[in-house]
Amino acid sequence: MFPPDHTGIAVRLAQLREAMRSQRIDALMVPSADPHLSEYLPPRWKGREWLSGFTGSVGTFIVTADFAGVWTDGRYWTQAETELAGTGVALMKIASGASVQYVDWLAEHLRSGQTLAVDGAVLGLSIARLLGQALAGKDVALRTDLDLLDGVWTDRPGLPDAPVREFLAPYATQSRAERLQALRAAMANLGASHHVISTLDDIAWLLNLRGADVSFNPVFVAHALVAPGRATLFVADGKIAPELGATLAEQGVDVAPYDAYTTALQALPADATVLIDPRRVTHGTRQALPSTVRVAEAVNPTTLAKSRKSAAEADHVRATMEHDGAALCEFFCWLEGALADPRREPLSEYAIGERITAARARRPRFVSPSFGTIAGFRANGAIMHYRAGAEGSARIEGDGLLLIDSGGQYLGGTTDVTRVVPVGAITDEHRRDFTLVLKGLIALSAARFPAGTRSPQLDAIARAPIWAAGIDFGHGTGHGVGYFLNVHEGPQSISPSAMPEPHTAMEPGMITSIEPGIYRPGRWGVRIENLVLNVDAGDAGFGPFLRFETLTLCPIDTRCVALDLLRADERAWLNDYHATVRTRLAPHLAGDALAWLHTRTEAI
């Protein structure tokens, strides 16, 4: 994270504007993106953060001669207001993370004859097309051949250099050769001879490799080109050990320098048909393809394949959830004791993240957190992506709700769980909000739906109990989760901002979060999150149906529940869930943590 140095930001913007004037650029757009369109960026591509001081993971920065602004959605408004205050950079509020309102702003504010610049190497192809359409009738030029940041960011980080490692059985449940064979079959069905892949989790999944180039996600910076006979992995020198390189070569995967990627695309044979996913490659990649080749566009077959976990992978995830849940029990047992001890110094929100990671690290096959722990007490819990720093984080003392959202990367799966616990005395209003969120979680967790249902269509099921109280929340209800990969993955998304397109269909084997919430700015926030697995629910003559198997194993704090707001079936769901949690986790616990588990899973 870059420090919020307001003076430094002013200097950077002045230098950037001078570079724009020298290149006759009237507006510059800096997306939150790298050449792989990653959600979480290696430091080299955190240009928007470096220029503006806004550290959220979603945002688009635009600067002109007399304006600078960051467009971001409601998850980050409170954070952005704090971080942008005094910088001269405006917060431009948008409806959702999927919004492209900044494109409309550019079309409205740029005049005929002016030039907009965006680095094509990090500009998504689909966004480039929207920009082209919006500016076509305005006589505004779009330049994508410049990276103006290089001229002003003098200490810009280089490419990450962490080694790439092989992901092996038993946790790799399918061989590299099998995955390449399945991919080529999917390519053939789409009429493609070659396939370009830039998204890092797709590459890691396809080649059974893992890395550490992106915080919390076990991926590495690379491109891949899959041809009929061989595949090429473009990765920085020194990241692939000679022994691994030899293994890859024997299995039909050649290793080439990272910066040879564009040249390789330009050298594709004239009769090639190249498959690209326009939402997962950059404008620069598309521009590098020769005009002679035919281009086929479709969702990356690997994106669809990796979202459907195999039975063996699901078994590893279930085992992982037991260890993760046991770690959480030990943590929450410690937390309750620490909060009740009058002799102890008050805890900080930052300390919560340290302790919860330490609890997970004692469990087998733990690798790292899957994201930075969110521990928000009282008003900070209403900041959806709040992150406490080592300095200045709130002390947890007095009365209120403490929201903790955390997760782990294990060799056998990726976890993501949110719980809310009471600190001191809580109010009936606290309990009402908590129970409404719990009702939303239960409603969607218990749902049955036809296989192939578009995932965004499920969002309203979780919101209905919250809507009934005249309340809503400003984020999606659920995201896909990887298998020892990115904690956020597609193609499914249970969100009102996602389009219900065919590739968002719910299919067996997908793992998705369910995480409704209620946020009262300046007061408190409530979110409860479990991960669920799509499993078969039978066919009663109307086609196959799916249901959710809840994977997460962690007690939901019943001290926060307003029992009179729960129906009998909702109480039964919660009691059944807690009985499962107790049965599955008890063998992994002892002493105080085991006693805590029994107390927190008592039937209501």
Given a cut of 60, whether residue 1 has pLDDT beyond it is: no
pLDDT by residue (tens digit) across 540-564?
A: 999 999 999 999 999 999 999 999 9
- 114: helix, coil or strand? coil
Compute the average pLDDT of residues 425-439: 98
Mean pLDDT across the stretch 218-234? 97
* Residue 3 confidence class, pLDDT cut points 50, 70, 90: very low
**Arithmetic mean of pLDDT over the chain:** 95
| pLDDT recorded at residue 469 | 98
Closest to 258 (Cα-Cα) out of 167, 159, 148: 159
CB-facing half-sphere around the CA of 262: CA atoms within 13 A: 11
| Residue 543: Cβ within 10 Å count | 9
β-pairing, 194-197 with 222-226?
A: antiparallel
* Alpha helix segments (H runs only) across 341-456: 349-361, 428-445
Q: How far apart are CA 532 and CA 445, in angstroms?
A: 8
What lies within 8 Å, CB to CB, of 293 at 6+ separation is 194, 268, 269, 270, 271, 272, 273, 274
Q: In what order do the strands lie in the sheet with 273-276?
A: 253-257, 231-235, 222-226, 194-197, 273-276, 294-297
Six-digit token pair at 395?
Answer: 């002390």
| pLDDT single digits (tens) 102-144 | 999 999 999 999 999 999 999 999 999 999 989 988 889 999 9
**What pLDDT was estimated at residue 37?**
95
Q: How far apart are alpha carbons 47 and 496 in whole angstroms?
A: 29
pLDDT of residue 386: 85
Q: What CA–CA distance (Å, rounded) separates 232 from 253?
A: 5
pLDDT at 389: 79
Q: Which of 131-145, 303-317, 363-377, 437-451 has the lowest mean pLDDT?
A: 131-145
**pLDDT at res. 97:** 56
The region of weakest confidence among 47-56, 186-195, 588-597 is: 47-56
- Lowest pLDDT segment from 42-51, 79-88, 347-356: 79-88
Q: Is the pLDDT of residue 4 over 80?
A: no
pLDDT at 2 over 50: no
pLDDT tens profile 54-110? 998 889 999 999 999 999 987 788 888 889 998 999 999 987 655 688 999 999 999
CB 283 within 8 A of CB 123: yes
Mean pLDDT of 327-349: 93
Model pLDDT, residue 5: 61
DSSP string, 242-299: HHHHHHHHHTTEEEEEGGGHHHHHHT--TT-EEEE-TTSSBHHHHHHS-TTSEEEE--
- What is the pLDDT, as a whole number, of residue 74? 79
**Beta strand ranges found along 529-597 (DSSP E):** 530-536, 545-550
How high is the pLDDT of residue 98?
A: 58
Q: What is the pLDDT of residue 82?
A: 86
pLDDT of residue 6: 61
Enumerate domains of the chain plus CATH numbers. Answer: 6-152 (3.40.350.10), 165-301 (3.40.350.10), 308-600 (3.90.230.10)
What is the arrangement of strands in the sheet containing 400-406, beginning at the earlier edge strand? 374-377, 400-406, 417-423
- Distances from the Cα of 218 to the Cαs of 43, 152, 166, 208, in angstroms? 16, 31, 11, 11
Q: Which amino acid is at 82?
A: T
Arithmetic mean of pLDDT, 417-443: 98
CA distance 166 to 172: 9
Q: Render pLDDT for 496-526 as a digit per residue (tens, 0 to 9).
A: 988 999 999 999 999 999 999 999 999 999 9
Using DSSP's 3-state secondary structure scheme, residue 444 falls into helix
**pLDDT confidence bin for 8, thresholds 50/70/90:** confident
Q: Which of 432-436, 494-498, 567-571 has the lowest mean pLDDT?
A: 494-498
